[in-house]
């Protein structure tokens, strides 16, 4: 993008003044290099978001922002329902509550290395991955209903984890006010055999080791040190979430003009929060969040089984679980007063600061863990939420590297077999059912995650704590 489009307020804050139908400014957090490399579509989309009714403060884009459906991926916007604020399915995304959870193992790098191959095979055998992947769990109608209401709590009650996992999960593992009755039979059918599966695209399970600690105090509160081995799981609500998004987007395209809302782009389809469609979508979306939380909880159970078979001394305890495709009701300080807002985060992570009551102790003293996934074969990061992020972006931060190239272009440039061999030469074992999928997710198809994290840190959105590098990658 051209820098002339922005007013630069700091090294990492770039503002677009309201113009045309914009109700508020638009702000992108990034350094100059990241801004220049962003597609112009990010500019168009974040300006369009700023036109929506009831938007508060500004429309924000994170350092990993790239083109998405309606909202840019990496987009954040908050709406006041009492001022005509809207809910947008495109502002949440199709993979509702896609997120990352990271687990301690109690092991060090040297404990893993002699068993890396066996561990990779054990994980690959137990973790269903790939397009249309299905697992061994078959949910009856009653079980589906309970899962959509109970989330990870339901999964723990079924024996797929432990109570301690719920304490370290957003919403304590269960999103309140879910309304399964608003989830269609088609969406349920798509999910009936997909619980405990990774799916495809950029989803993964990685065994990683901590290669650098940037903030020793926070790392100590998070229980991580250099050399530690951790596991990160990245996935979401699979077919159910996608179907919810698809169906409600169709409804919202019709509903918007009926409520006098002019859409600058059909993909921004939305409905007033207080409307009948808006309320039904919120209920269904919250059920989708619970589906994703339950899915990651079951995958945690399967990972524990794999480790128990190869390295029984491992103790897999949860560091934290965060989502990055949601709309949540939160209170934020706006112009000196607390306001109840519906905060959309699409490809963005909540980043609550130190002392926030929604962060469990002892993590509360450091701020919420912000888990940033890299692209296949590159580093991931653990950050911590900050006080400043509340004022700067409704306590939000980036969620990953962000694509720099389409999947189609990636498959033209790279071959999956060559990538697997190249990563093996670097000591990274990749297991995937699809070499085509590996090519789509080539590291070079993404932005440099280190630069994205550095920009988020410098912008005060989240504080860099530790760098993780992969040893084993299970890829969809």
- % pLDDT > 70, the chain: 100
More confident position, 453 or 377: 453
Confidence bin at 201 (pLDDT 50/70/90): confident
Residue pLDDT, tens place only, 276-313 = 999 999 999 999 999 999 999 999 999 999 999 999 99
Query: Does residue 399 carry a catalytic annotation?
Result: yes
Average model confidence (pLDDT) across the chain:
96
Which of 451, 448, 419, 449 minimizes the C-alpha distance to 436? 419
pLDDT digits over 3-61, tens only? 999 999 999 999 999 999 999 999 999 999 999 999 999 999 999 999 999 999 999 99
Least confident of 98-102, 135-139, 318-322, 420-424: 135-139
Kindly list the structural domains of the chain, giving each domain's residue range(s) and its CATH number in brackets, ordered by start: 3-475 (3.90.1860.10)
Residue-wise pLDDT for 423-459, tens only, equals: 999 999 999 998 988 999 898 888 899 999 999 999 9
Q: Which of 133-147, 216-230, 353-367 has the lowest mean pLDDT?
A: 133-147
Q: 356: which 2 tokens? A: 């926030």
pLDDT on residue 135: 80
Contact between residue 252 and residue 89 where contact means Cβ atoms under 8 Å apart? yes
CA Rg value for the chain:
21
CA distance 341 to 154: 28
pLDDT for res 297: 98
Q: How many CA atoms lie within 13 A of 451 on its CB side?
A: 13
Q: Which residues pair with 340 in a beta bridge?
A: 331
In the predicted structure, residue 132 carries a pLDDT above the cut 80: no
Give the residues across from 6 on adjacent strands.
none
What are the tokens at 182?
Answer: 């608003």
Q: What is the pLDDT of residue 230?
A: 98
Token pair 């280190």 is found at 450
pLDDT band at 321 (very low <50, low <70, confident <90, very high): very high
Q: Residue 440 gets which letter from DSSP?
A: H
Task: State the average pLDDT over residues 89-95.
Answer: 96
| Three-class DSSP category at 359 | coil
Q: Of the residues 262, 274, 399, 436, which is catalytic?
A: 399
pLDDT at position 387, please?
96
Query: Rounded to two decimals, what is the model's pTM?
Result: 0.97
pLDDT of residue 126: 95
Burial class (CB in 10 A: 0-12, 13-18, 19+), 214: middle
pLDDT of residue 359: 97
Whether omega before 362 lies within 30 degrees of 0, making that bond cis, reads yes
**In the predicted structure, residue 122 carries a pLDDT above the cut 80:** yes
Per-residue pLDDT of 221-277, as tens digits, reads 999 999 999 999 999 999 999 999 999 999 999 999 999 999 999 999 999 999 999
Q: Let me know how many helices (H) and strands (E) the chain has, helices first.
A: 16, 19
Cβ atoms of 17 and 43 closer than 8 Å: no
* Closest by CA position to 46, among listed 55, 37, 34, 33: 55
344 vs 437, more confident: 344
Count other Cβ atoms within 10 Å, centred on residue 3.
10
Helix axis angle, 141-157 relative to 276-310, nearest 10°? Answer: 50
With both helix axes pointing from N to C terminus, report the angle between 238-258 and 276-310 in degrees, rounded to the nearest 10. 170
130 pLDDT exceeds 90?
Answer: no
Count of positions (residues) in the chain:
476
């Amino acid at each position: 993008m051209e820098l002339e489009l922005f007013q630069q307020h700091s090294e990492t804050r770039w503002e677009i003044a309201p113009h045309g139908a914009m109700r508020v400014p638009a702000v992108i957090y990034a350094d100059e290099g990241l801004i220049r490399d962003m597609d112009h579509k990010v500019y168009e989309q974040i300006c369009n978001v700023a036109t929506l009714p009831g938007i508060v403060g500004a429309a924000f884009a994170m350092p990993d922002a790239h083109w998405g459906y309606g909202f840019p991926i990496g987009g954040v916007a908050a709406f006041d329902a009492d001022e005509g604020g809207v809910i947008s399915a495109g502002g949440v995304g199709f993979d509702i509550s896609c997120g990352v959870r990271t687990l301690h193992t109690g092991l060090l790098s040297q404990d893993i290395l002699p068993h890396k191959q066996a561990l990779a095979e054990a994980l690959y055998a137990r973790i269903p991955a790939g397009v249309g992947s299905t697992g061994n769990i078959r949910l009856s109608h009653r079980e589906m209903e309970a899962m959509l209401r109970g989330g990870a709590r339901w999964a723990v009650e079924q024996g797929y984890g432990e109570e301690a996992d719920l304490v370290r999960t957003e919403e304590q593992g269960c999103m309140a006010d879910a309304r399964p009755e608003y989830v269609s039979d088609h969406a349920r059918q798509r999910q009936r055999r997909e619980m405990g599966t990774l799916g495809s695209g950029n989803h993964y399970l990685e065994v990683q080791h901590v290669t650098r600690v940037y903030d020793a105090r926070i790392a100590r509160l998070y229980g991580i040190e250099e050399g530690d081995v951790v596991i990160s799981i990245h996935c979401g609500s699979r077919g159910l979430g996608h179907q919810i998004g698809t169906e409600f987007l169709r409804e919202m395209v019709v509903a918007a003009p009926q409520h006098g809302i002019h859409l600058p782009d059909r993909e921004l389809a939305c409905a007033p929060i207080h409307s009948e469609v808006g309320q039904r979508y919120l209920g269904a979306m919250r059920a989708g969040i619970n589906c994703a939380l339950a899915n990651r909880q079951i995958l945690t159970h399967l990972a524990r089984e794999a480790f128990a078979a190869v390295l029984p001394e491992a103790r897999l305890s949860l560091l934290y679980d965060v989502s990055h495709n949601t709309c949540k009701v939160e209170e934020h300080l706006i112009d000196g007063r607390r306001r109840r807002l519906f905060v959309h985060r699409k490809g963005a992570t909540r980043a609550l600061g130190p002392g926030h009551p929604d962060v469990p102790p002892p993590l509360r003293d450091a701020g919420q863990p912000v888990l940033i996934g890299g692209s296949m074969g590159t580093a991931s990061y653990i950050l911590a939420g900050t006080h400043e992020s509340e004022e700067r972006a409704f306590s939000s931060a980036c969620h990953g590297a962000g694509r720099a190239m389409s999947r189609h272009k990636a498959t033209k440039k790279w071959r999956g077999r060559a990538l697997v061999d190249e990563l093996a030469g670097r000591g990274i074992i990749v297991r995937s059912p699809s070499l085509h999928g590996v090519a789509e997710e080539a590291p070079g198809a993404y932005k440099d995650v280190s630069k994205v994290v550095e920009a988020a840190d410098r912008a005060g959105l989240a504080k860099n704590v530790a760098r993780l590098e992969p040893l084993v990658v299970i890829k969809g």
